[in-house]
Amino acid sequence: MAGPPPTRLWTRPFLLLLLASFVYFTADGMAFAVLSRYVDGQLGGGEVGAGLAFGAFSLTALVLRPYAGRLADRRGRRALMVGGAALFALAALGHLAATTLPILIGLRLTMGVAEAFFFVAAFAAVADLAPEGRQGEAITYDSLTLYLGIAVGPVLAEIALGEDRYWAVWIAAAAVAALATLICLGLTETRPEPTEDSAGGRLLHRAGVLPGVVLMAGVWGMAGYFTLAPLFAVRDLGLAGASPYLLAFGGVVILARLIGAKLPDRVGARRLSGTAMVITAAGLLIMGLWADPIGLLVGTMVLALGVAFTTPALALLAISGVPAAQRGAALGTFSAFIDLAFGLGPVTLGAVAAASTIPLAFASSAGVALLGTFMLWLGTRARTPSAVPASQD
């Protein structure tokens, strides 16, 4: 069980938790970096097979995140993080036997289970370890580990892959996930003392629904961007590739979160998330109306700025006023909407692009983000937002 309420943010348990998350998401980045090439080149699954393999991951993560949240409140955060990282390591090692597409899809479904357990438990543990008034800052730092891991993982995967050594990638990813498991074993349990209603009630926690729906509206355009921007850059703009734009996107998100880590607590979750959603919509609209390389770059950077603060602010909103013993359930419900966005967004926007143009698909995503902003205002208008000053270490 957790000890007394924390008074400092930068403690050994907090740093160890960030390290565990970074290592886990590095393994995650290694696995997905070569997945499409493996499906197409080794299994002959083509684009459809690659899409099925990617989608399988999101399917189990979507279904199990709310359950993982409840389990984290009942059994503890540490157990789910250890179990999730260990399960990921076993599934990565299982790729050595993935000689057919159905076997690979089964392993990706298993990785989705691991993701649900680890992600939700880690988010809840971060909130547990943060002093009152600095939970948004702590969540922002933890969210950076995902981006950093996904940035480092593909580099390690390419080194392991060489010419055609997929087996080396799977073994390396399993080894990195095993390292994350060992780090998690060194964590202390942060779950607060349970109360009578700490794990009761419905599977979906009410506090996570509105922030989750708004998050889906914001992530919707980002998911479509990752799907359509590479095609737009090469096919429509005649560029060599989209890597400079994707690099700019990642760089802006990381830099903004580092510089503005304290903003969710100081500005307030409601105000910052609403502002971030409007900025997200602006970035998508720029790409929709300014359809050339410069417009794509400007729109990418504005979109990244909005995305940088959307998730931390809305995650803070999801746990605001929620008893500490119910944080896992609230965050499990909240984070499930990420999978909905990544599952439905690319398909819907791909259909819009096929029926019209990619810029129009970007512009329609701006409309979705603005709709989410309106829902946020409508659902929280009775509340009085206040900026909470960050405590000092």
Domain(s) of CATH 1.20.1250.20: residues in the chain: 12-185, 206-380
pLDDT in tens, 241-276: 777 888 888 889 999 999 999 999 999 999 999 999
Neighbours of 6 (CB within 10 A): 19
Return the CATH architecture of domain 206-380. Answer: Up-down Bundle (1.20)
Judge whether 76 and 191 are in contact, CB under 8 Å.
yes
Q: What is the DSSP letter of 345?
A: H
Alpha-carbon gap, residue 122 to 208, rounded angstroms: 16
Sequential DSSP letters for 365-390: HHHHHHHHHHHHHHHHTTS-----PP
Alpha-carbon gap, residue 376 to 213, rounded angstroms: 9
Alpha-carbon gap, residue 176 to 24, rounded angstroms: 7
- Its pTM stands at 0.82
- Positions in the chain short of pLDDT 50: 199, 384-393
Q: Helix/strand/coil (H, E, C) string of 82-131?
A: HHHHHHHHHHHHHHHHCCCHHHHHHHHHHHHHHHHHHHHHHHHHHHHHCC
Rg for the chain, CA atoms, rounded? 20
Sequential DSSP letters for 230-298: HHIIIIIT--S-SHHHHHHHHHHHHHHHHHTTTHHHHH-HHHHHHHHHHHHHHHHHHHHH--SHHHHHH
Judge whether 254 and 382 are in contact, CB under 8 Å.
no
Judge whether 173 and 31 are in contact, CB under 8 Å.
yes
* 3-state class (DSSP) for residue 9: coil
What pLDDT does residue 386 have? 40
Neighbours of 259 (CB within 10 A): 10
Alpha-carbon gap, residue 218 to 372, rounded angstroms: 7
What pLDDT does residue 250 have? 85
Residue-wise over 113-143: b if at least 16 C-beta within 10 A, else e? bbbbbbbbbbbbbbbbbbbebbbbbbbbbbb
Residue 373 CB-density burial (10 A; 0-12 exposed, 13-18 middle, 19+ buried): buried
- What's the mean per-residue pLDDT of the chain? 87
What pLDDT does residue 393 have? 39
The torsion region of residue 162 among left (phi > 0), alpha (psi -120 to 50) and beta comes to left
Q: Which residue matches tokens 């979507």?
A: 62
CATH class as words, domain 12-185? mainly alpha
What pLDDT does residue 202 have? 65
